[in-house]
């Protein structure tokens, strides 16, 4: 395989506590640590392992976002990606718009495989990979916990509600990673320094001719309500009575 594209999203680091803006217009991001979406980082690690096995020649990291997203792309380069592409925009994009943009990059690059996380931890949409596969008119395998390539076929073990499902898809294809696919490598300081000198290909979003106008309108953000304290009961009869009093039992 000549090339693997890995799609990376810039998100607020998973260790950071999220706060809603006082006016409810969005989430506070100013001054917060930003990172590669953890599921996308797993996808990148898998692409690097496939290249190291000799099953791919090049790994290209692609991200959509503001100029600051170059920081996450440089992390990808430090991990071992060969090239990086940033589609620069300050707009908040819905999954369909992101899929349309990625589709244009895929047309340009002609990869043998596209890897990305099953979902992003900021919106949890779990849609972009599936939409990209539909636009590209290629097979998809989501929630991958194991990936094996054999010529022009990929064997993917999927995590589903009933357990594990093993499917085969023809390449090129879109595969989205689950948590148990692998554990991303630790980035070493020398590699971080080398990545700072590498060039990132910045693409203006307007040059792609993609309609990114939102089709949904978010009216307000609110923090989840504080959970009420639980109660202690001593017998099953007390439990049944308590559930009936709350209307949870008929």
Q: Which helix (H) or strand (E) holds 244?
A: helix 236-245
State yes or no: pLDDT of 250 exceeds 80: no
Whole-number percent of the chain with pLDDT over 70 = 100
What rounded mean pLDDT belongs to the chain? Answer: 93
Dmax (CA) of the chain: 70
Phi-psi region of 209 (alpha: psi -120 to 50; beta: other; left: phi over 0): left
Q: 172 forms bridges with which residues in the sheet?
A: none
How many alpha carbons fall within 13 Å on the CB side of residue 203? Answer: 17
Question: What does the block give as tokens for 68?
Answer: 């600051």
Q: How far is CA 227 from the centre of its chain?
A: 29
The secondary structure of residue 165, as a DSSP letter, is E
Q: Which domains does the chain have, with CATH numbers?
A: 3-219 (3.40.50.620)
The answer to whether the CB of 84 falls within 8 A of the CB of 58 is: no
**CA-CA distance, 82 to 72, in Å (whole number)?**
14
Sequence-distant (≥ 6) Cβ neighbours of residue 209 within 8 angstroms: 104
Question: What does the block give as tokens for 111?
Answer: 């990869």
**CA-CA distance, 165 to 139, in Å (whole number)?**
16
Whole-model pTM?
0.86
State yes or no: pLDDT of 199 exceeds 80: yes
Q: Tell me the backbone φ, ψ of residue 60, rounded to 5 degrees.
A: -115, 120
Structure confidence by residue, pLDDT tens digits, 106-162: 999 999 999 999 999 988 999 999 999 999 999 999 999 999 999 999 999 999 998
The answer to whether the CB of 191 falls within 8 A of the CB of 181 is: no
> Torsion angle, CA of 46/53/63/104, rounded to 10 degrees?
-110
């Amino acid at each position: 395989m000549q090339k693997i594209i890995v799609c990376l999203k810039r998100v607020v680091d998973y260790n950071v506590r999220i706060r809603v803006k006082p006016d409810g217009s969005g989430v506070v991001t100013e001054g917060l640590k930003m990172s590669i979406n953890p599921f996308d980082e797993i996808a990148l690690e898998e692409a690097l392992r496939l290249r190291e096995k000799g099953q791919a020649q090049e790994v290209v990291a692609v991200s959509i976002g503001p100029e600051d997203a170059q920081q996450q792309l440089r992390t990808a380069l430090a991990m071992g990606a060969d090239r990086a592409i940033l589609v620069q925009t300050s707009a908040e994009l819905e999954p369909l718009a992101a899929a349309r943009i990625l589709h244009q990059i895929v047309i340009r690059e002609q990869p043998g495989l596209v890897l990305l996380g099953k979902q992003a931890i900021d919106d949890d949409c779990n849609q972009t990979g599936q939409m990209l596969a539909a636009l590209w008119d290629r097979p998809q395998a989501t929630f991958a916990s194991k990936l094996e390539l054999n010529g022009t076929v990929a064997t993917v073990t999927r995590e589903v509600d009933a357990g594990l499902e093993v499917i085969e898809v023809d390449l090129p294809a879109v595969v989205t990673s689950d948590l148990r696919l692998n554990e991303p490598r630790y980035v070493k300081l020398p590699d971080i320094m080398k990545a700072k000198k590498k060039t990132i290909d910045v693409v203006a979003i307007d040059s792609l001719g993609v309609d990114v106008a939102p089709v949904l309108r978010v009216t307000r953000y609110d923090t989840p309500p504080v959970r009420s304290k639980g109660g202690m009961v001593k017998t099953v009869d007390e439990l049944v009575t308590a559930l009936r009093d709350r209307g949870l039992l008929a």
